[in-house]
Amino acid sequence: MSKIVIKNLDNRLLDNKDNSKSVLNIIHENHIDWMFACGGNGRCTTCKIVVTKGLDNLSEMTEAEIKFSQIGKLAKNERLACQCSLRGDVEVEVAAQNKFPHMKYSY
């Protein structure tokens, strides 16, 4: 069992019982509107999470994530929510450029 806290969504807490699921799946199962322009296939970066705590509690980076980090599209504290899964608790933020205009963010 692991937890995700989404800091800029009022510290929304997501309890997760199945660590085989992607972070994106967990977010969507909790009915949170989150960008995923390529359908969760590792081809865009719109599902990006900015990890503020627990970076080591995520699965190994996938080839897609390594590629985006090599071309400067993913910082060291950023992961693709569709590509990673949980190994422990994390705290994350919605990236500024991926916020929806209809959603209310706490910062």
* Residues of this chain that bind ligand FES (CB under 6 A): 36-38, 40, 42-47, 80, 82
CB of 59 to ligand FES, least distance (A): 14
44 is written with which tokens?
């865009």
Strand, coil or helix: what is 8?
coil
Cβ proximity to ligand FES: between 9 and 47 the closer is 47
CA atoms within 13 A on the CB side of 23: 37
CB of 11 to ligand FES, least distance (A): 23
CB of 5 to ligand FES, least distance (A): 20
90 sits in which H/E element: strand 90-94
